[in-house]
Structures are given as structure tokens and as C-alpha cells.
Amino acid sequence: MISNITFDNIIMPGSSTPAQNLYQMNFTDTSFYSGVTILPTQIPEPAQRTNLALNKAATASSATGPSSYAVDGNLSTRWGSNYTDSEWIYVDLGTSLSINGVRLNWKTAFGKSYQIQVSNDLTNWSNVYTTTTGDGGIDDISFTPTNARYVRMNGTQRGSIYGYSLWEFEVYGVMNNLATGAVVTGSSSLENSNWSTSKANDG
């Protein structure tokens, strides 16, 4: 569908007045408009997100299906927990990364109340997202960018009589500059409040 295009004063061969519609401009006959180029406005495709959890190590409180199945990129394999309310699974990104999103793809055994928590030491966990009204299916979660190596789904109340079960547990980082927040090491630096190696990628 092409709309809202205006042509001014297109006078066709054999006519003394401007054409008023495409038919008068013989747009049905290519012999009258060879070489015409129409340049549509380009709407950029959304940037593809990279799943930072893909094929990373995953650890869970219990497993009726292997925890690795939650991060294998395969939507027909799943991790499942025991049938109790307090269950969790975390993924180790391998290094601390600036992250701002998690996408949970639940099987019918979903979390009604859970938190997304982040950590850099497996001891201190911070909530970056909390819900008590989870509805299963896909939970696409965004949060303020934070630096973390470990990302956990901490279940506190199940949404079914079963446990928690995820086809996939995906983690996303700040787009376009994955180096933001990563540790920068320089051979030397002028250390002052405005100029140091850490300022090279502070966004």
C-alpha cells in the first residue's frame, strides 16, 4: 500500500495541463515512465537481540528435566523443578555483563509469584523484577540496566499444581554496545574524576 504521495505539475506528452491522477500519468503503461525511481522511506528493522544465556551454564534447585535444557535454544526441551513453591534456576553468563531484560518461556507449569534476581558472587542477590501475578506463556521482562554475571528466576509461588518449567530462560543486554559496563583495563590512565579507563565505556 502506497499512500500520501504528491506529484506536482506532471505534464504528460500530448497534454497541456498537469495530470491529476496516476491514470492520467499513464502509470499503467511502463512506456511512459521508464527510469522513474521511487525511494520509499526506510524504516529500520529492530535490531536483533542476542540471548546472552544461550548455552551458558544453568543451575537449579531441583530438576525433573536438566537445567541446561532452559538455555539450549531448543523450544522442545525444558527444565522442570520439583512440585514445590520455593524453587529457582540461575544462569551463569560467564562474566559480568550489562543486562536489562529476561524472557521466560514457560511450559504450563509456570511461576505466579517470582523474582528475577541478579548477582556477581552467588551470595548477594538483588531483585530487578518482582511479580505476584505471573500468567505463564511468555514473560518478556525489562529492567534498569545492571551489571551481573548470574541471573536467577526465584520462584515463590507456582501457578499450577506442577512445579516450575521453562522451555527457555533468555537474558538480554543493553543493545548496540555490549561493552558498556564491562571491565576496562588500560596500560595507563590519567586518573581524575572525568578521565579514567572506566570512563571509556560508561555509556
Expressed in angstroms, the distance from the first to the final Cα of the chain is: 40
Report in angstroms how near the CB of residue 97 gets to Ca ion at its nearest.
21
Neighbours of 162 (CB within 10 A): 16
Report in angstroms how near the CB of residue 43 gets to Ca ion at its nearest.
28
Q: Which is nearer to Ca ion, 25 or 91 (CB)?
A: 91
Region 4-63 residues binding Ca ion, contact defined as CB under 5 A: none
Is the alpha carbon torsion for 91, 93, 97, 103 positive or negative? negative
Select the residue whose beta carbon is closest to Ca ion and give its number.
Answer: 77
What cell numbers appear for 175 in the block? 543493545
Q: Which is nearer to Ca ion, 139 or 170 (CB)?
A: 139
Q: Of the candidates 59, 68, 77, 119, which one interacts with Ca ion according to CB under 5 A?
A: 77
Is 108 a binding residue for Ca ion by CB under 5 A? The answer is no
Q: How many helices (H) and strands (E) does the chain have?
A: 0, 7
Report in angstroms how near the CB of residue 203 gets to Ca ion at its nearest.
30
Q: Which is nearer to Ca ion, 67 or 117 (CB)?
A: 67
Is 147 within 8 Å of 93 (Cβ atoms)? no
Q: Which is nearer to Ca ion, 137 or 203 (CB)?
A: 137
Region 113-152 residues binding Ca ion, contact defined as CB under 5 A: 135, 137, 139
DSSP-assigned beta bridge partners for residue 103? 140, 170
Phi-psi domain of 156 (left: phi exceeds 0; alpha: psi -120 through 50; beta: other): alpha
Q: Which residues bind Ca ion (CB under 5 A)?
A: 69, 72, 74, 77, 135, 137, 139
